[in-house]
Structure 1
Amino acid sequence: MLVAGTSGAGKTTLARRVAEVLQIPHIELDALHHGPAWKPRETFAVDVEAFSAEPRWVTEWQYGLVRDLLAERADLLIWLDLPRRTVMRQVVCRTLRRRLRREVLWNGNTEPPLRTIFTDREHVVRWAWSGHHRSALRVAAVRERWPELAIVRLDSRAAIERWCGGPLRATGR
């Protein structure tokens, strides 16, 4: 199972929630991708190949290197198609919290200094802003290439809660 959406949409949060309800493994792609000093891990694609060969899992749908493999092996894609204002509020708050608390993320990494929002074109806040429209394009391409892949589009926090409280709960029983 995949959870799609732009950076900051809540993919990891929802994937964890799905994993808990369905009692299936959640594999966090950022943890597999980011090595020390934010360098991509050499074993990333091999690690994704291994876990996605298993019958049950949930992960975030990101990273072009493995996106097709994951779509091919998934049985459901949950698309967080939240408004840009919602995503930006979430990603800015998360980034500020992580930086101010010096939260250690994957493999010892921490959020860079806040000033890098203005200097780094790939800063997560800028990435979320500029890439917001890409999720819709990717989901449209998946519909065309894998028409058998079920897609659930959730366009608000309320829609996420309704889905989690209804169809997800029903599946998890």
Structure 2
Amino acid sequence: MQRISVVGTTGSGKTTLARQIQQRLNIPHVELDYLHWEPNWTEVADDIFQQRVSQALSGDSWVVDGNYSKVREIIWRKADTIVWLDYAFVLTMSRLLKRTFWRVVTQQPVCNGNRETWKTTFSRDSILLWGLNTYHKRRKEYPILFSQPEYAHLQVVHLRSPQATQDWLFSL
């Protein structure tokens, strides 16, 4: 495991786990949100995003977190391992809710100076709404993707609980 992609629904803990893997294995961590979002929550153009990801993953070892289908092929083609955080809906949504409200209240920067606000939390662009709308889609989509011939080279680590994740992490 030298090129690891951490995936899972919004709020599952992808970035937290990727940082822990980075520390355990002493490999670079690439957070896709930083490559995708400019200040003021402006999305970069697809071609620029793809270039940034390709450049960030040009090394021999890394751990990347995120679910961006726009760059999935680039990442998974280079990866040797996929870690799928597949937690229960209630757990994931409760974590997302707590995280979102914490970020709004503390004004903690998310990426590139962006911050979550009450306005966005209760808008059609809400991360909470995104989590609700994508949770079941991701759970159906990933097994299908993992079975595709172009991803046969990937070792898939399917983690269904925080305890299973911690056990796996300590086994590294």
Shared fold by TM > 0.5?
yes
Counterpart residue number, 2:107: 102
Counterpart residue number, 1:144: 148
> Which of 32, 37, 41 lines up with 1:38 in the alignment?
41
Paired letter, 1:119: S
Q: How far apart are residue 151 of structure 1 and its match?
A: 0.1
Counterpart residue number, 1:124: 127
- 8 Å CA contact 1:4, 1:135 repeated in 2: no
Output aligned runs, 1:1-173, within 5 Å: 1-42=4-45, 43-113=48-118, 115-120=119-124, 122-136=125-139, 137-145=141-149, 146-166=151-171, 168=172
Q: How far apart are residue 155 of structure 1 and its match?
A: 0.2
Determine which structure has the larger strand proportion and give its number.
Answer: 2
Q: Deviations over 1:68-111 (max 9, x none)?
A: 11111100000000000010011000000000001122122110
- 8 Å CA contact 1:2, 1:74 repeated in 2: yes
Given the two structures, how large is their TM-score scaled by the length of structure 1?
A: 0.89
Task: State the alpha-carbon separation in 1 of the partners of residues 147 and 26 from structure 2.
Answer: 27
Worse overlay, 25-34 or 130-139: 130-139
Gapped regions of structure 2 (runs ≥ 5): none
Gapped regions of structure 1 (runs ≥ 5): 169-173
Closer/same/farther in 2, CA of residues 117 and 135 from structure 1, 3 Å limit: same
Worse overlay, 82-91 or 40-49: 40-49
Q: SS state of the match for residue 37, structure 1? A: helix
Worse overlay, 34-43 or 83-92: 34-43
* Count, aligned residues: 165
Task: State the alpha-carbon separation in 2 of the partners of residues 64 and 142 from structure 1.
Answer: 14
Given the two structures, how large is their TM-score scaled by the length of structure 2?
A: 0.90
Q: Deviations over 1:101-159 (max 9, x none)?
A: 0112212211021x544431x31111111111222313421322311210000000111
Task: State the alpha-carbon separation in 2 of the partners of residues 3 and 139 from structure 1.
Answer: 14
Task: State the alpha-carbon separation in 2 of the partners of residues 93 and 39 from structure 1.
Answer: 24
Q: How far apart are residue 45 of structure 1 and its match?
A: 1.5
Worse overlay, 51-60 or 91-100: 51-60
- Please, what is the CA RMSD of the aligned residues? 1.4
Paired letter, 1:110: R
- 8 Å CA contact 1:61, 1:67 repeated in 2: no
